[in-house]
């Protein structure tokens, strides 16, 4: 997701006179910050879960299991976090020198998301953090370091792509609604009060992506951005699959060509987790298809 989000805005920035080298540096910095955020999230989860077996059983996909079962140590994880934060900080300082002082704003935003993601996710604001990190921070930051400017069209571009990224997280939480309820975990889905309302709200993320592509087509005069609307049938498909999952967690649909890629599917399809993972991978694939279509549109603009 980080790479594809970067690729969308990297291509768009090149089409608007952006510089190549700062854009590549921004990718490395974004990867480092993403890795630090993931590890920090696991670290905070470990402190919550380590002494609570009930929460461990309800945890999403054995989160931070490598810490709970002792496969690695807290000190090694902390060292990795510091390493990735150091890489991100070093690249940020170089980009300040190359592109200007506004890079500090994006660095501060990235650090805030990294340290605050756990706080957000425990209050049903995880999707908001994802929308911010994969939207204005990533897109605005890459565009700025490449062009030394800001753009309303970039904001629309970021909103569309980050909405599709957030949909992956949201659909994951939707399928874990019952487990989160048992664990008294507050997510955006749970804040909506029922699985049916949570399912209906899932369409918001896709509609936001379509609205952004239509806005870009109108503001740039390039109808190629309407290519993103080609995923509409897939959105209906995933919505139906999630609707069925709300009532029957054992339902595994026939796998169609547009559902792929499904990683390790030959092994997973034999497990009880297959219905979950099929929908999770499919949600991710829809986000990937959307961003690839936006990349094509930017190239043809």
Which CATH number goes with the domain that contains 77? Answer: 1.10.357.140
Give the model's pLDDT for residue 10: 96
Show the tokens assigned to 49: 């879960």
Is the confidence at residue 51, as pLDDT, over 80?
no
**What is the mean predicted confidence (pLDDT) over 260-276?**
91
Q: Is 62 in the same domain as 121?
A: yes
Average pLDDT, the chain: 90
Give the separation between CA 207 and CA 117, rounded to whole angstroms.
Answer: 25
Cβ atoms of 5 and 165 within 8 Å: the answer is yes
Q: Is 188 in the same domain as 53?
A: no
**What is the mean predicted confidence (pLDDT) over 182-207?**
89
Q: Is 65 in the same domain as 131?
A: yes
Band (183; pLDDT cuts 50, 70, 90): low
Give the model's pLDDT for residue 62: 56
Q: Is 167 in the same domain as 72?
A: no
More confident residue, 49 or 244: 244
Cβ atoms of 95 and 103 within 8 Å: the answer is yes
Q: Is 133 in the same domain as 157?
A: no
Q: Is 91 in the same domain as 113?
A: yes
Q: Is 125 helix (H, G, I), strand (E, B) or coil?
A: coil
Number of domains, the chain = 2
**What is the mean predicted confidence (pLDDT) over 25-54?**
83
More confident residue, 173 or 186: 173
Band (72; pLDDT cuts 50, 70, 90): confident
Q: Is 6 in the same domain as 69?
A: yes
Cβ atoms of 43 and 78 within 8 Å: the answer is yes
- Vertex 226 angle, CA 225 and 227, to 5°: 85
Q: Is 87 in the same domain as 189?
A: no
More confident residue, 159 or 51: 159
Give the tens place of pLDDT for each residue, 125-134: 888 888 899 9
Cβ atoms of 14 and 92 within 8 Å: the answer is no
**What is the mean predicted confidence (pLDDT) over 55-70?**
61
Give the tens place of pLDDT for each residue, 213-265: 999 999 989 999 999 999 999 999 999 999 999 999 999 999 999 999 998 89
Write down the residue that tokens 């170089």 correspond to. 94
Q: Is 143 in the same domain as 1?
A: yes
Is the confidence at residue 58, as pLDDT, over 80?
no
Show the tokens assigned to 142: 């890459």
Give the separation between CA 284 and CA 261, rounded to whole angstroms.
Answer: 10
Mark which of 150, 177, 197 sits at the end of a domain: 150
Is the confidence at residue 79, as pLDDT, over 90?
yes
**Is cis: bond before 261, omega within 30 of 0?**
yes
Write down the residue that tokens 């547009």 correspond to. 258
Write down the residue that tokens 């989000």 correspond to. 5
Q: Is 122 in the same domain as 169?
A: no
**What is the mean predicted confidence (pLDDT) over 11-16?**
94
Give the model's pLDDT for residue 101: 93
Give the separation between CA 63 and CA 73, rounded to whole angstroms.
Answer: 15
Give the separation between CA 258 and CA 267, rounded to whole angstroms.
Answer: 20
Band (68; pLDDT cuts 50, 70, 90): confident
Band (55; pLDDT cuts 50, 70, 90): low
Mark which of 150, 178, 204 sits at the end of a domain: 150
Q: Is 120 in the same domain as 172?
A: no
Domain with 237, as residue range(s), is 152-301
Mark which of 101, 118, 150 sits at the end of a domain: 150
Q: pTM for this one?
A: 0.88
SS3 track for 205-256? HHHHHHHHHHHHHHHHCCHHHHHHHHHHHHHHHHHHHHHHHHHCCCCCCCCC
Q: Is 131 in the same domain as 198?
A: no
Band (212; pLDDT cuts 50, 70, 90): very high
Q: Is 141 helix (H, G, I), strand (E, B) or coil?
A: helix
């Amino acid at each position: 997701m980080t790479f594809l989000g970067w690729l969308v805005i990297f291509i768009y920035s090149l089409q608007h006179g952006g510089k190549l080298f700062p854009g590549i540096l921004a990718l490395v910095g974004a990867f480092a910050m993403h890795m630090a955020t993931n590890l920090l999230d696991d670290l905070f989860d470990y402190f919550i879960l380590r002494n609570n077996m009930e929460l461990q059983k309800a945890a999403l996909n054995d989160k931070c299991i490598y810490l709970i079962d002792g496969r690695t140590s807290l000190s090694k994880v902390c060292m990795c976090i510091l390493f990735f934060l150091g890489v991100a900080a070093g690249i940020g300082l170089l980009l300040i020198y190359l592109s200007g002082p506004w890079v500090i704003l994006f660095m501060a935003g990235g650090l805030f998301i990294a340290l605050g993601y756990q706080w957000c996710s425990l209050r049903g604001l995880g999707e908001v953090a994802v929308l911010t990190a994969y939207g204005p921070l990533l897109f605005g930051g890459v565009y700025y370091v490449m062009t030394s400017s800001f753009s309303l069209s970039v904001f629309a571009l970021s909103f569309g792509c980050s909405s599709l990224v957030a949909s992956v997280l949201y659909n994951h939480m939707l399928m874990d609604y019952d487990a989160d309820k048992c664990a008294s975990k507050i997510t955006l889905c749970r804040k909506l009060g029922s699985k049916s309302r949570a399912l209906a709200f899932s369409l918001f993320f896709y509609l936001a992506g379509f609205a952004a592509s239509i806005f870009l087509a109108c503001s740039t005069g390039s109808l190629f951005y309407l290519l993103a609307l080609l995923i509409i049938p897939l959105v209906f498909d995933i919505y139906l699959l999630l609707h069925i999952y709300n009532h029957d967690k054992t339902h595994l649909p026939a796998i169609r060509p547009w559902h792929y890629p499904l990683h390790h599917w030959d092994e997973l399809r034999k497990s009880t987790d297959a219905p979950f993972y099929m929908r999770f991978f499919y949600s991710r694939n829809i986000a990937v298809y959307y961003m690839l279509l936006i990349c094509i549109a930017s190239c043809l603009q």
